[in-house]
């Protein structure tokens, strides 16, 4: 089968890591008889330089016409002095909204070989953890009514949170479906002891849980969830939560894995077309030096196969190849810490992953 993928390389290390992901997808395509066709489009700083705007119309049209989108990263010091509305990062919100991507999936997995990189104590991480955070991406307090007004103590600022039944239902279904593809455990995180939106959230999640009897469902208040993530992260499989709580908890979860160059993400909407990108930025300090860790981008491509193309063996094959490369002690510079290990380059790490895919 043939799949059309829009390739948004972006800035900084974006071109290096997207090249790695494309090579890995081609190797998987060869092994499992799929054809992946890549069409590059401009986004971010390189689009500002070439077309005068961070998100050209042609990029939006190209993404809408594709089966899925792979994004490297955008931004860099060259464009830092531009006003907010013309900065490279503005393209991210634009493309998410053009594609209607309201679900953000952020896995936080501790690779057994990288246990030492976690800031948590050995006894907490000794058996590893593998969490998927499902964050609502286009509603809640980040998009609510806001402004300044005169209040009881004079001038004040306000932000409001609103969630509709439809918004909660669609993110809820996305989370239950994700749980069905994993270990069938889902925790919904809210603040239903205080917030009205959370009480609606919780009641809808309970109703939806009846449609997924195989999923073991529970609720947690957000303050407790933040605590449980560092106390015993292994207890979690899938977590679903609102935009702001997800923003905070997913950063906390990524930090306890200890390695920003390893973490993938997916943004999904109602169609099969999603956008897949590493959680890190464009790393301008190492751009063009062949030092970047391509694994977060490669694992984002694996998520694309799983969530947009409905594959299982193919993403498993990529993830297992990454596991084996790490088990063999192969590390890019960001993963070596204070050890004596000789780091490999971005292209060498990619070659090692490719060799595991073709030889396994």
User: Which residues are known catalytic residues?
Assistant: 142, 191, 223, 247, 251
Q: Which stretch binds ligand NAD (CB under 6 A): 29-37, 160-168, 222-230, 290-298?
A: 290-298
Q: Which stretch binds ligand NAD (CB under 6 A): 103-111, 184-192, 216-224, 280-288?
A: 280-288
Establish if 101 lies at the interface with ligand NAD (CB under 6 A). Answer: no
Establish if 274 lies at the interface with ligand NAD (CB under 6 A). Answer: no
Establish if 283 lies at the interface with ligand NAD (CB under 6 A). Answer: yes
Question: Shortest CA distance to 314 belongs to which of 27, 5, 22?
Answer: 27
Shortest reach from residue 74's CB to ligand NAD, in Å:
4
Listing from the earlier edge strand, what are the strands of the sheet with 68-73? 35-40, 2-10, 68-73, 275-278, 264-268, 103-109, 130-136, 238-241, 185-190, 216-221
Establish if 91 lies at the interface with ligand NAD (CB under 6 A). Answer: no
- What is the C-alpha separation between 205 and 200, in angstroms, rounded? 9
Establish if 40 lies at the interface with ligand NAD (CB under 6 A). Answer: no
Establish if 76 lies at the interface with ligand NAD (CB under 6 A). Answer: yes
Query: Pick from 140, 334, 356, 357: which binds ligand NAD (CB under 6 A)?
Result: 334
Q: Which is nearer to ligand NAD, 186 or 297 (CB)?
A: 297
Q: Which is nearer to ligand NAD, 314 or 334 (CB)?
A: 334
Query: Pick from 58, 145, 159, 285: which binds ligand NAD (CB under 6 A)?
Result: 285
Q: Where are the beta strands (DSSP E) in the chain?
A: 2-10, 35-40, 68-73, 103-109, 130-136, 146-151, 154-159, 185-190, 216-221, 238-241, 264-268, 275-278
Buried-exposed string 175-200: b where 16+ CB fall within 10 A, e elsewhere: bbbbbeeeeeebbbbbbbeebebbeb
Residue with tokens 């292994």: 234
336's tokens: 């070596």
First-to-last C-alpha distance (Å) of the chain: 22
Establish if 73 lies at the interface with ligand NAD (CB under 6 A). Answer: yes
Residue with tokens 């993110």: 171
Establish if 133 lies at the interface with ligand NAD (CB under 6 A). Answer: no
Q: Which stretch binds ligand NAD (CB under 6 A): 26-34, 205-213, 291-299, 312-320?
A: 291-299
Binding stretches for ligand NAD (CB under 6 A) = 13, 73-76, 89, 92, 260-261, 277, 280-286, 292-293, 296, 334
């Amino acid at each position: 089968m043939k799949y059309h993928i829009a390739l948004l390389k972006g800035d900084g290390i974006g071109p290096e890591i997207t090249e790695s992901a494309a090579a890995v997808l081609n190797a998987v395509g060869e092994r499992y008889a799929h054809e992946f066709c890549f069409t590059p489009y401009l986004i971010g700083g390189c689009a500002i330089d070439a077309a005068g705007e961070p998100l050209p119309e042609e990029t939006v049209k190209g993404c809408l016409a594709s089966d899925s989108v792979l994004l490297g990263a955008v931004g860099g010091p060259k464009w830092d002095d531009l006003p907010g509305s013309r900065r490279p990062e503005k393209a991210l919100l634009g493309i998410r909204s053009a594609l209607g991507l309201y679900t953000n999936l952020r896995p936080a997995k501790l690779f057994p070989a990288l246990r030492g990189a976690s800031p948590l104590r050995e006894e907490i991480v000794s058996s590893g953890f593998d969490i998927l955070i499902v964050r609502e991406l286009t509603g809640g307090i980040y998009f609510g009514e806001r402004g300044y007004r005169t209040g009881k103590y004079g001038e004040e600022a306000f932000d409001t949170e609103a969630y509709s039944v439809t918004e909660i239902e669609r993110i809820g279904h996305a989370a239950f479906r994700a749980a069905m593809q994993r270990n069938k455990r889902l925790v919904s995180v809210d603040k239903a002891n205080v917030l009205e939106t959370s009480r609606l959230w919780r009641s809808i999640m309970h109703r939806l849980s009846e449609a997924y009897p195989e999923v073991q469902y529970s609720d947690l208040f957000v303050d407790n969830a933040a605590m449980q993530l560092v106390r015993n992260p292994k207890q979690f499989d899938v977590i679903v939560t609102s935009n702001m709580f997800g923003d905070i908890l997913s950063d906390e979860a990524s930090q306890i894995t200890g390695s920003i160059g390893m973490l993938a993400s997916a943004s999904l909407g109602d169609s099969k077309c999603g956008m897949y990108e590493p959680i890190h930025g464009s790393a301008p300090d190492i751009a063009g030096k062949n030092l970047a860790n391509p694994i977060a981008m490669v694992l984002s491509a694996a998520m694309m196969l799983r969530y947009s193309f409905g594959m299982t063996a193919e993403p498993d094959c990529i993830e297992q190849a990454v596991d084996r490369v790490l088990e063999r002690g192969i590390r890019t510079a960001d993963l070596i810490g204070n050890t004596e290990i000789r780091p490999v380059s971005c292209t060498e790490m990619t070659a090692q992953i490719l060799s595991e895919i073709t030889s396994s």
